[in-house]
Amino acid sequence: MRLDDTAARRLDFDDIMLPEPQAATMPLALAIGDRVRMSALGQGRHPRYGDVEGVLIRKAAASAWRVKFDGRNALQTIHRDYLEKVPADE
């Protein structure tokens, strides 16, 4: 049995499974001046940073930030996936 072109190209949207929104696991957007720390992924990749916190100074690239960590003189360039915001209550 041969389907005509329109039937072959038609999508049945009820059969398409889309992932549920992951709002709870989505990282908060970072902005200049935010207090940050290394995320679990960041600590796993760069254990020497430990639990140190710092301030976002500027964007370094599309996926990286320049961070001034507490107690350090030099700015560090860190990938955004390695950073997480410090909650305001801490």
Please report the pLDDT score of residue 37 as a whole number: 95
**Spatial contact of 55 and 35, defined as CB atoms under 8 Å apart:** yes
Residue 23 confidence class, pLDDT cut points 50, 70, 90: very low
- Whether pLDDT at 9 is above 60: no
Please report the pLDDT score of residue 76 as a whole number: 94
- Domains of the chain, CATH where assigned: 23-85 (2.30.30.30)
Predicted confidence (pLDDT) per residue in 36-66, tens digit: 999 999 999 989 888 899 999 999 999 999 9
Query: Cβ neighbours of residue 68 under 8 Å, at least 6 residues apart?
Result: 54, 55, 57, 75, 76
Backbone angles phi, psi at 57, to 5 degrees: -95, -45
For residues 49 and 77, give the distance between their C-alpha atoms in angstroms, rounded to a whole number.
13
